[in-house]
Structure 1
Amino acid sequence: MPLPTTPPAPAASRGLLGGLITLSAAQFLIALDFSVIFVALPDISADLDLSGTAKQWVVSAYSVFFAGFLIVGGRIGDRLGARKLFMAALVLFGIASLLGGLAANAALLLITRALQGIAAACLQPSILALVNTTFPAGKERTRALAVWGTVGASGLAAGVVIGGLLTSLSWRWTFFVNLPFAVLCVLAAPKFLPGKAEHGRTTALNVLNAVLCTAMVLVSVFGLTLAADAGWTDPLTLGSFLAAAVLLVLFAGRERVSTQPLVDPVLRRTRSLVMGCSSSALYMASVAGVEFYLVTLLLQDGRDYAPLAAGIAFLPLAACITFGNMIAGKIIGPFGVRRSLTLAFTVGALGLALLGVSATHHGYLAAMLPGLVISGLGHGMIYTSMFVGGTRDVDDRNQGVAGALMTTTQYAGGAFGVAALVLVLGTDPGDEAFRTAFLLAGGVALAGAVIAWIGFGTTTEATDRITEATPTPVGEH
């Protein structure tokens, strides 16, 4: 009787592990760069003599261009291959980081931040596409997304800690720290990440639709940024929103009649993706972007923490985000996305409520720490759950755009949340203003719990169990 043959599982496993490490490191880089700048901002402003507006745009230039180019970046990756875009984006990110660290004036610094945003907009959807096409649907993909989410979400918190340490040396190291990540990921990509899989005839990128989409998102996020700085009734803010509405109408009209739409019509009909995008926006408007903004402001402006001390104060949050992602990876299989994501948003809302209730007390251990721990757990659980649910029903050829849509709504939600909170906080926020702001963010998180429960219904729960029971064999993607 002939002996059965078995595939070289150890070698395949090592390749998958190497790919996951590479993709997680790149995601950590994006998250790190987004948050590391907050702690360094006062030193950057003093060294380069930045005006109040220029200081704000050190953060906003990255966010605006990141959000604006995401969907186009996702479509380019789907057209040309996610691995090619992954490597090209890392090269651009590394060059921009080097120039940013060497910048001698505000103009060059803002240009490099915009370039970092564009590079990250190409990198983010290619990472998610590679995760979802490298690992088969089911338990393997859920575990991979949990690891990817753990590293990426913890990067937001770790960035504040690392930023505090590096800023004590020089703010320029908050840019230079990106270079090793970029170089190592570029070198590892050809070895561990799959090349482009063929899905029939590859169509060209619809340039006009891409320009309209990019302009629409750029102007929208620009308007939200202006709303946070100049106010919602400022003429330039209102003009930006009007221009965004016109561009939206033009883009939607072009997409409807185009034979080569930027966003495949099937994606607009994919309920799980629509619900994932909604969850993503509410996540960033509550336990992610808004919480980081509020906690950083409270620690450094309200409690006079030095950059390093503020970074250390974020350590429990970083640890709990990591643990929250691990919890999500364990519970999504047996409980489904609906229950997992609803629970995650509820936990996040509870943590924000605790931070709000304790805002009038100035002690760290008794006042802030419980809220940071609980909200951190919710943060990590949401991050993994929403991406597992949002991208699960999307085929491989559209994974880049699907990930880009979720990330675009994520950062648009964060920009809207911060702009709204500026009205609540005022120019010189006190303890009561912080209390109101945290409670408002907690209310947004509760809205996320409601959306998750309604949006990911019983059909989705059945799909979860079928997918977990019958995973796709490796290679059939």
Structure 2
Amino acid sequence: METSYKGNNKMLTGIVFGVLTYWLFSQTLLNVMPAVQADMGISLGALNTAISLTGLFSGMFIVAAGGISDRLGHKKIATIGLILNIIGSLCLIFTQGTVLLIIGRVIQGFSAACIMPATIALVKNYFEGPDRQRALSYWSFGSWGGGGITSFAGGLIATTLGWRYIFVFSIVFTLLSLFLIKDVPESKTQKSKSSKFDYLGFVVFILVMVALNVVITRGADFGWTSPISLSLMAVTVIGGWVFLKIVTSKSNGFIDISIFKNKYFTGCTVSNFLLNAVAGALIVANTYVQVGRGFSSFQSGMLSLGYLICVLAMIRVGEKLLQKSGPRKPMVIACILVIAGIILMTLTFLPNLLYTIVVIIGFTVYGIGLGLYATPSTDTAIDNVPASKAGEAAGIYKMSSTLGGSFGLAISVAVYSGVQGFGNVEAAASAGLTANIIFAALALVAILTTVPKGFVVKEVKGKAIELVRAKKAL
């Protein structure tokens, strides 16, 4: 749809508020799990499953929602997502047991699947050049900075008002977002004959993701060599192979594999998955200091205040480094800093005061790294795909975020719970955090092996064109 509309600060604020709602209903529960568990009287495994469902369902449906938004309208799908969040939040406000908790988390997963790719596509369509990079930086304030904001805010709300009030605030931000984007014109691409939805690939993808998530979160409960666990592993492996065969044999595959021919998009998406998996460090650190050190939800949230400040402060720095030296340099530095920050958190043998200081420093360094990574990764991934594929590409990129976060959370909690079963909470925390160091190290390898040095170069009508003037590479 052609329009002369240009993105403005009102639109951008509405988009940021919309993105923040995801973190308010997703990240905050990670930081107040002991409070939720005490209030609801459910097991840690059941609570972990319920919490991870939001990331799982958003990850499963986000590509479909992104592709649908390309055809039906990015603003329309974003609006549907915001309304779904209100419904899901109400479920959690009034839940008294696991059933409504799970239903609310699933609805919020659908909400995130709609909001995240549609808002990125709106930014791509209504902002250009440096303005787009600035807009993506602010979008990253909500997306990457949201984890730090809600880590602090969630602990404060849970301690002073109760954990259910987190979702009251989520509804307030949702209503503000709906108001601020109401005047944004619709944007969508024209339908084509090849745009028929790949239902078979979609169904197989769901089966694979559910099987993988369940075996990670409940494998220890079932027994790793039990028939149930082995069956789930078989579904994951065989289903994954079948899925690849389906999407590569169709022109309208559920995931457009051809997008991954772009090495910039591939490097950013793979590393994005792995660095979002590192979010598991937040739940391990917050749970440990509450269970092992007697901290309150608010006190544990205060430990990550430096993380919040530095993520927000460094996002624009990452944008400037992108413009100065290309995407690889800030992304590499980011991974190194994330690894260093988590290493500091693993020093659980230290006495209370010293460990508290070390964790604060660790969270701060961790936040600096994620802040530097956010804009170079998002801008490089999204700017290198055709406008007609903006929603789908944004969906794939954000699918890597949500699935990375979901599986990182599941694996971190599984490692923590498994080691804690031997009665040593300090060793459990160190083991869970070490898993996240491995994720960050793999992200570093992915960047070094896929993202070229220097500035992004893309093909336009057969000619290689530099997106920014070439300068000294890393």
TMscore range, shorter length: 0.7 to 0.9
**Greater Cα shift, 24-33 or 166-175:** 166-175
Unaligned 5+ segments in structure 2 are: 459-463
Question: Would the alpha carbon gap of residues 72 and 197 (structure 1) be closer, same or farther in structure 2, given more than 3 Å must change?
Answer: closer
Deviations 1:114-162 (A, max 9, x none): 11111111221112222222222x3222221111112322211221222
How far did residue 451 of structure 1 move? 2.1
User: 1:400, 1:229 → 2: CA distance?
Assistant: 38
Q: Is 1:154 equivalent to 2:145 in the alignment?
A: yes
Aligned partner of 1:351 among 325, 341, 355: 341
1:317 matches 2:313: no
Alignment RMSD: 2.7
1:217: how far off? 2.3
Match of 1:467, as an amino acid? Answer: L
Structure 2 Cα separation of the partners of residues 263 and 398 of structure 1: 11
Counterparts of 1:128 and 1:232 in 2: how far apart (Å)?
40
TM-score (norm 1): 0.87
Q: Which residue of 2 aligns with 1:106?
A: 98
CA distance, structure 2, for counterparts of residue 270 and residue 73 of structure 1: 22
Name the residue aligned to 1:362.
Answer: 352
The Cα of 1:267 is off from its aligned counterpart by 1.0
Partner residue in 1 for 2:442 = 447
1:74 Cα deviation from its structure 2 partner: 1.7
1:86 Cα deviation (Å)? Answer: 0.5
> In the alignment, residue 395 of structure 2 is paired with which amino acid?
A
How far apart are 1:394 and its partner, in Å?
Answer: 0.9
Identity between Structure 1 and Structure 2 (%): 21
Separation (CA, whole Å) in 2 of partners of 1:358 and 1:243? 38
The one-letter code sitting in structure 2 at the alignment partner of 1:466 is E
State the secondary structure of the residue aligned to 1:177: helix
For 1:354 and 1:44, the matched residues in 2 are separated by 28
Shift of 1:229: 5.5
Contact 1:97 1:116 (C-alpha < 8 Å) held by counterparts: yes
Deviates more, 1:49-58 or 1:77-86: 49-58
Q: 1:419 to 1:113 in 2, by over 3 A?
A: closer
Q: 1:12-68 CA deviation, whole Å, 9 max, x = no partner?
A: 66x422221111111111122211112443333333332444322331222222222
Other-structure match for 1:74: 66
1:194 shift after superposition: 4.2
Q: In 1, distance between residues paired with 2:258 and 2:443? A: 24
Partner of 1:426: 420
Corresponding letter in the other structure for 1:377: I
The one-letter code of the counterpart of 1:356 is: T
Residue number among 256, 265, 277 corresponding to 1:264 in the alignment: 256
What does the per-residue CA deviation read over 1:101-121, in whole Å, with 9 as the maximum and x for residues that have no partner? 122332112111111111111
Q: Are the equivalent residues in 1 in contact too, given 2:31–2:287 (CA < 8 A)?
A: no
Kept in 1, the 8 Å contact 2:277–2:436? The answer is yes
User: Residue type matched to 1:145 in 2?
Assistant: L
Match of 1:62 in 2: 54
Q: 2: distance between equivalents of 1:417 and 1:59?
A: 12
Letter in 1 for 2:107: L
Deviates more, 1:264-273 or 1:16-25: 264-273
Q: 1:432: how far off?
A: 4.0
- Are positions 1:389 and 2:380 aligned together? yes
Shift of 1:332: 0.6
Question: How far apart, CA to CA, are the structure 1 residues paired with 2:273 and 2:328?
Answer: 17
CA contact (8 A) 2:32 2:297 kept: yes
Q: How far apart, in 2, do the equivalents of 1:119 and 1:89 lie?
A: 4
CA distance in 1, matches of 2:395, 2:309: 27
TM-score (norm 2): 0.88
Question: Residues 417 and 196 from structure 1, CA distance in 2 versus in 1: closer, same or farther, beyond 3 angstroms?
Answer: closer
Task: Give me the whole-angstrom Cα distance separating, in 2, the residues matched to 1:234 and 1:142.
Answer: 50
**Aligned with residue 134 of structure 2, among 143, 153, 158:** 143
CA offsets 1:227-271 (integer angstroms, 9 cap, x no match):
465564444333222212333233333323334322234313222
